[in-house]
Amino acid sequence: MSGELEAEFVREFKDPNHEKGPVTDLESLNVAIRDLEQVVDATPMHSQALVEHLKALRSLVSRLYNMTYYEGGLEKLLELSLQILTTLPEGTHDHEVDLYTTAFILMALHIRTWNLEYLEESLIMLSHARKGEEPANSSELSNDLKNLSLEVERHDPSTNVKRNMEIAVKVLRQCINLTAGRDPLFLRWLDLLYFLLDKLLYYTPGGNDRVPIHQESIRVLYDLANLEILRGDFQIEKLLKIMGHLECLLKDTGDPRFNEEAMAVSGRLLKIIPTTHPQYLTVVYNRGTAYLRQFESTAHVQDALQAIELFRNVIKIPREDSIIYRTAMLNLGIALVWLSKRTVNADLLDEALPILQRAVELEGRGSERVRWTTNIIECLMESGKEAEAIDTAMKVLQSESCPVEIYTMLVTAYGCLYDKTSRLEELNRAIEIGRQGLNALSQELLQHLMFRGTLAAQLLRRYTRSHQLADLEEAIYISRKVIKNVPKGLFSRCKALINLATMLRMRYMCLRNIKDLQESIELQTEVLDTIPYDHPARPNYLRMLSDHIYTRYKDLGDDKDRSRAFALSHEALESVVFDSPYFAHCHFHHCNLLAQCNPPPWSEISSLLSRSWRSPTILPGLQLRMAAMLRDTRRMEKDFDGAYAAAAESIRILRRINPSSLAMGDSQYLIKQYRALGSEACELALRVGKSGTEALQLLERGRAIIIGNLMGTKRDEKELREAHPTLCTEYERLRLAINRAGQGLGLDEIMTNGNSPNQANSIAKFESLVSRIQELPGFENFQKGLTEKQLRTAAGQGTIVAINFNAWRSDAIALSSNGVKVIALTDLNVDTANGWIMKLVDSSGGPSNKEYMELLRWLWQDCVEPILRALDFRPQDSPEDLPRVWWIASGGFTLFPFHAAGDRSRGPTANTLSYVLSSYTSSINTLLEMRKRSPSHLASNSGSPAKLLLVSMPTTPGAADLEGVEQEVAAIKTVLGSSIRMEKLLQPDVDTVMQHLPHSQIVHFACHGVADPINPADSGLLLQTAFATPEQQVLTARAIFESHNVQGQIAYLSACSTAEARVAGLLDEHLHVVSSFQVAGFRHVVGCLWPSDDAVCVEVAVSFYSQLHRSGMQALTDRDVALALHKAVKAISEHKKYEKRPLRWAQYVHYGA
């Protein structure tokens, strides 16, 4: 038999799974075998012709077996080979060759049947075939084969297949090691060894046990591919198989070194494989996949571009039935999405989405179709279409074979939605789905571990929001499990390490256990040792490690830590590029380090901030913090013009923050991050000589943002919606797109590579759209605040006094129909003011009556009196002659009762009550909105008397009884008589009250009130449930804020602390129960700044309604309502019983028109 025929024979008989080829003439082959068998029978024994006929018959049987794998085929081949051996003379070359052939047939029978006798006979044949070798080699090989034969004989035949396979591999490995390429049949040894290794993989479970088998298979294939005698298709075939094994190794280990090897092999293949070869596109596809993997690890743009070019080449010619065509289309879409994130180019997303959708459409395999859909979801999320992404994922989630990637995408999608909206419900939903996924998915594959990491990141986000330590502990537990199972060297492990490091630092800041901080630093050091020096995320990791080490320096005082922190920060600055999403973060961190030097190098800080705070990739939250730092830095340099410019710019940036779709709690959380911007901008405007109007405009735009959104007082948006609804929709969409909850929280490193291309593009588009709107007729001042004309209109027939308390200077800006006047409060001592503010916010009890008398005296002398005198106001003999004033304060001054300020030691008129008729408003915009509502006439639409709803709670579950409630309600009924319809709700529940509110022109609550010291939206009025055994129930400010169908006139809240707001960071927002009734639709609201006295409540309420009744209930004006409370409070304040007890009467305030 020729060498070519022998090689073909070996390939044919050894592998039943070998591609059969076309079966075109099976019948003719059977006929030929029968004819040849007859020839053999007729040929004389020991003749050369018999040998040739037997070999020819064996070749035909081999072909038939290769085509049909018929029962007994290998046995027939063995029979023929043994006949040939008996015919050939021993010691000849032909006899030795056929010993090998027979040994291989026996080996194939052993593999097919796992009969150890075949293996033993094969070993004997191989031993006999080596007798012609040199004595040393013959002895060494014979001993090895003899030992292996003995091992086979000792082996229990009933053991598993895998063990028999391992013994066969060991035999061939020994033979190959001894011959070392010198044997003329070395090719057969290698080829059969690869075949056995390939079968051994089949019997080896997945995971690390398969890795050495794959690696040995690759070595054998390299030996085969490198043989000089074999080139062309044979070499291509072996290199393709190497690619397959490398793919398996990558899947099992994720080791990037295997990807580098795959790139080298594919490059070698492309040099030798013809473009017409059926596997050519497979090679191109594999090389593209290797580049895509490398891009995932290195983030080098060139790698992504190479991958995209290769995938485009694969799909040039449509072959929709080809899996290579479909997967190349899928990977092209993935590469475009990843490149868009790296280059911040949203146009790539527009190209990627239809490609991904088409790939999924073509994919016929159900499980793969589901898995591929995750890429569409990712593309939608990057495009800012989180709702559509979630809808797509939820549909897939209903399928029976939902992959882990869908859970990952859903958790990520809800997290992205939270990034935009700050709605806690989105974050809660992300965590809920994540926990569902943990219960549904028990595997520990790499993608399952990454899913756990995604869940841990969301838990960490919620911890930063709610500060519930349980969330942080759960996140740490999950992250540790991820890191334990992800091999070192993988970039996915780096992300997990960074997340855990951040979590440990947060726990350290909470519990102060130095071990947490030490571990955090060790984890980040491993990350920096792993990722390439030119990886785009490396500057951010340097920044983070610097921050953690500096934290350790501040606690332990080791100067080496300080030096290392600065060195790492410098390295981050030197390596970060301008268009990197980390450019601004790295600069801001370094500025914070410099700011802690003694003395701080303000000039260097200012220079770093100036070049980084306008980075094209910076997001609004970080930009606001950097603008604030630049403002303060320039102030320290005495560059007040520069400080003003930064402050004014921060107000402009603020317009991007807090879309009106936010829920109350989410709005509070977000606004806390950006407090005092308006106050600082106002102070600097006055310092650099800007007009009072400009200063007031800045102050107005930086305060009462939440109330403004709730009331719809954002006049610009309302007018734009009415005149240009399409533009307004686009404006709101873009503002939503550029908001992220993580801004300012140190979470930019959590499961993200920075801002998305959609966000960065949205910022530019948003600014361009605002400029375009400002070119429209009538919208020249869009987003520039109220015009001077609008400001004067707001003052009406009175004066608005905005008091801007600031650490640098304090001023009052008085606004009237005549214009704006700035009053410098030069006598207002900052330390004294802050001392009083601290007393008022002290939750342990606050000041006594004696202290409060001193507070009112100081407030009159240093603040209110200078303002009133500057406005040329004088004491009036009659309350009817008092000019109206609306007080607006900033910061801690919102806690002060300006209406009650006075100094009794200087006479009966040295007080606000004798000078002006006081009201309060959260902002000028709010006052304008109040004025737009229906005037204070109390006749119903039918002309019948208006309705007064009396809500009384003389007893409250879990609270003290209010003995004066029934007396208060009875007195009101007596005073008003039949001038108004009355409905009384005694001990009602929340639902009942809410049902009655829209139908009442006046509501009066006589009950307990509570002010939540943490979340003002949870402040409220105490009612009770409708159960047989009632429980306490709170009518919260949140619930009232969300009711928009009320058109009431007066809400009188005879309850404690309904106008109290003490939450730091939200003082300028005026969030309390009183403001909630304003938002709901009431034109006037009466409330209390602190707890009230039951007996005084009765007196003030009765006096108030008596004044209204005398004014005529059906024809009340706005002034009548404010005056009624003024008279009631003034009467109590002058009563001998209460004149020195301001805590009983000074808390009553009027908010409204």
Range of the domain at 906: 796-920
Confidence grade of residue 139 (pLDDT, cut at 50, 70, 90): very low
Average pLDDT over every residue of 131-150: 42
Question: What pLDDT sits at residue 441?
Answer: 62
Question: What pLDDT sits at residue 798?
Answer: 94
Average pLDDT, the chain: 82
Alpha helices in 383-530 (DSSP H): 386-397, 404-421, 424-440, 446-466, 469-485, 491-511, 514-530
Each residue's pLDDT tens digit, 473-482: 999 998 998 8
Question: What pLDDT sits at residue 488?
Answer: 76
Least reliable range by pLDDT among 46-60, 116-130, 491-505: 116-130
Each residue's pLDDT tens digit, 592-636: 999 999 999 999 999 999 999 888 778 777 888 899 999 999 999
Looking at the structure, tell me whether residues 901 and 1038 fall in a common domain. no
Is the link from the previous residue into 599 a cis peptide, with omega within 30 of 0? yes
Do residues 754 and 582 make contact, with C-beta atoms less than 8 angstroms apart?
yes
Question: What pLDDT sits at residue 1104?
Answer: 96
Dihedrals phi, psi of 902, to nearest 5 degrees: 175, 160
Question: What pLDDT sits at residue 899?
Answer: 97
Looking at the structure, tell me whether residues 888 and 958 fall in a common domain. no
Least reliable range by pLDDT among 201-215, 520-534, 984-998, 1010-1024: 201-215
Check whether 665 has a pLDDT greater than 80.
Answer: no
Question: What pLDDT sits at residue 420?
Answer: 63
Strand partners, 1005: 951, 1053
Looking at the structure, tell me whether residues 883 and 949 fall in a common domain. no
Least reliable range by pLDDT among 187-196, 568-577, 620-629, 1046-1055: 187-196
DSSP state at residue 860? I
- Asked if the structure places residue 324 within a domain, the reply is no
Question: What pLDDT sits at residue 751?
Answer: 33
Question: What pLDDT sits at residue 778?
Answer: 86
Question: What pLDDT sits at residue 702?
Answer: 83
CA distances from 7 to 103, 127, 230, 832 (A): 15, 21, 12, 100
Average pLDDT over every residue of 949-974: 94
Lookup result for tokens 């009548």: 1120
Lookup result for tokens 């004798």: 914
Checking 283-287 for CB contacts under 8 A at 24+ apart, the result is 283/240, 283/243, 284/310, 284/313, 284/314, 285/310, 285/311, 285/314, 285/324, 285/327, 285/328, 285/331, 286/243, 286/247, 286/262, 287/263
In angstroms, the CA 947 to CA 981 distance is: 5
Q: How many domains does one find in the chain?
A: 2
Phi-psi region of 187 (alpha: psi -120 to 50; beta: other; left: phi over 0): alpha
Higher pLDDT, 567 or 780: 567
Q: If we measure between CA atoms, which residue out of 721, 707, 732 comes closest to residue 928?
A: 707
Each residue's pLDDT tens digit, 811-830: 999 999 889 999 999 999 99
- Asked if the structure places residue 247 within a domain, the reply is no
Question: What pLDDT sits at residue 578?
Answer: 86
- Asked if the structure places residue 987 within a domain, the reply is yes
Strand partners, 1010: 1020
Confidence grade of residue 742 (pLDDT, cut at 50, 70, 90): very low
In angstroms, the CA 840 to CA 1064 distance is: 12
3-state secondary structure of 737: helix
Q: Indicate the residue type of 526.
A: E
Higher pLDDT, 141 or 112: 112
**What is the DSSP secondary-structure string of 292-320?**
HHHHHHH--HHHHHHHHHHHHHHTSS--T
Looking at the structure, tell me whether residues 916 and 959 fall in a common domain. no
3-state secondary structure of 902: strand
Question: What pLDDT sits at residue 990?
Answer: 95
Check whether 466 has a pLDDT greater than 60.
Answer: yes
Confidence grade of residue 1016 (pLDDT, cut at 50, 70, 90): confident
Dihedrals phi, psi of 42, to nearest 5 degrees: -90, -5
CA distances from 409 to 292, 459, 946 (A): 20, 16, 56
Do residues 40 and 94 make contact, with C-beta atoms less than 8 angstroms apart?
no
Question: What pLDDT sits at residue 956?
Answer: 96
Q: If we measure between CA atoms, which residue out of 178, 156, 180, 182 comes closest to residue 167?
A: 156
Check whether 15 has a pLDDT greater than 50.
Answer: no
Average pLDDT over every residue of 685-713: 81
Check whether 1088 has a pLDDT greater than 50.
Answer: yes
The residue from 887, 920, 953 where one domain ends is 920
Looking at the structure, tell me whether residues 972 and 1071 fall in a common domain. yes
- With a CB cutoff of 8 Å and minimum separation 6, the contacts of 949 are 982, 983, 985, 996, 997, 1000, 1002, 1003, 1004
Looking at the structure, tell me whether residues 1133 and 985 fall in a common domain. yes
Question: What pLDDT sits at residue 753?
Answer: 38
Alpha helices in 557-619 (DSSP H): 559-575, 583-595, 602-612
Strand partners, 389: none
- Asked if the structure places residue 911 within a domain, the reply is yes
Looking at the structure, tell me whether residues 808 and 942 fall in a common domain. no
Check whether 229 has a pLDDT greater than 70.
Answer: no
Confidence grade of residue 1146 (pLDDT, cut at 50, 70, 90): very high
- With a CB cutoff of 8 Å and minimum separation 6, the contacts of 874 are 915
Average pLDDT over every residue of 914-937: 84
Do residues 389 and 397 make contact, with C-beta atoms less than 8 angstroms apart?
no
Confidence grade of residue 833 (pLDDT, cut at 50, 70, 90): very high
Question: What pLDDT sits at residue 186?
Answer: 66
Check whether 8 has a pLDDT greater than 50.
Answer: no
Average pLDDT over every residue of 282-310: 90
The residue from 866, 892, 920 where one domain ends is 920
In angstroms, the CA 840 to CA 892 distance is: 9
In angstroms, the CA 1130 to CA 1153 distance is: 20
Confidence grade of residue 35 (pLDDT, cut at 50, 70, 90): confident
Looking at the structure, tell me whether residues 985 and 860 fall in a common domain. no
Question: What pLDDT sits at residue 228?
Answer: 60
In angstroms, the CA 39 to CA 268 distance is: 50
Looking at the structure, tell me whether residues 882 and 954 fall in a common domain. no
Buried b (16+ CB within 10 A) or exposed e, 361-383: ebbeeeebbbbbbbbbbbbbbbb
**What is the DSSP secondary-structure string of 683-703?**
HHHHHTT--HHHHHHHHHHTS
Beta pairing, strands 1032-1036 & 947-952: unpaired
In angstroms, the CA 542 to CA 749 distance is: 11
The residue from 889, 920, 951 where one domain ends is 920
Phi-psi region of 131 (alpha: psi -120 to 50; beta: other; left: phi over 0): alpha
Looking at the structure, tell me whether residues 1043 and 1143 fall in a common domain. yes
Average pLDDT over every residue of 406-429: 77
Question: What pLDDT sits at residue 1121?
Answer: 95
Q: Indicate the residue type of 1134.
A: E
Do residues 859 and 827 make contact, with C-beta atoms less than 8 angstroms apart?
no
Check whether 710 has a pLDDT greater than 80.
Answer: no
Check whether 161 has a pLDDT greater than 80.
Answer: no
Q: How far apart are the first and last CA of the chain?
A: 110
Check whether 646 has a pLDDT greater than 60.
Answer: yes
Pick the most confident of 35-39, 445-449, 667-671: 35-39
- Asked if the structure places residue 192 within a domain, the reply is no
Do residues 178 and 141 make contact, with C-beta atoms less than 8 angstroms apart?
yes
Confidence grade of residue 667 (pLDDT, cut at 50, 70, 90): low
- With a CB cutoff of 8 Å and minimum separation 6, the contacts of 25 are none
Tell me how crowded residue 143 is: count the other CB atoms within 10 A of its CB: 11
Q: Indicate the residue type of 1019.
A: S
Higher pLDDT, 433 or 269: 269
Pick the most confident of 165-179, 216-230, 959-973: 959-973
Pick the most confident of 67-71, 160-164, 984-988: 984-988
Looking at the structure, tell me whether residues 875 and 950 fall in a common domain. no
Q: Indicate the residue type of 1053.
A: L
User: H or E stretch including 621?
Assistant: helix 620-636
This prediction's pTM: 0.68
Question: What pLDDT sits at residue 744?
Answer: 32
Beta pairing, strands 884-889 & 799-804: parallel
Question: What pLDDT sits at residue 206?
Answer: 67
Least reliable range by pLDDT among 156-160, 565-569, 664-668, 930-934: 156-160
- Asked if the structure places residue 1037 within a domain, the reply is yes
Confidence grade of residue 931 (pLDDT, cut at 50, 70, 90): confident
In angstroms, the CA 427 to CA 413 distance is: 10
Confidence grade of residue 845 (pLDDT, cut at 50, 70, 90): low
User: H or E stretch including 1085?
Assistant: strand 1084-1088
| Domain of residue 1050, CATH code | 3.40.50.1460
- Asked if the structure places residue 601 within a domain, the reply is no
- Asked if the structure places residue 94 within a domain, the reply is no
Looking at the structure, tell me whether residues 1002 and 1147 fall in a common domain. yes
- With a CB cutoff of 8 Å and minimum separation 6, the contacts of 947 are 940, 980, 981, 982, 983, 999, 1000, 1001, 1002
Higher pLDDT, 822 or 11: 822
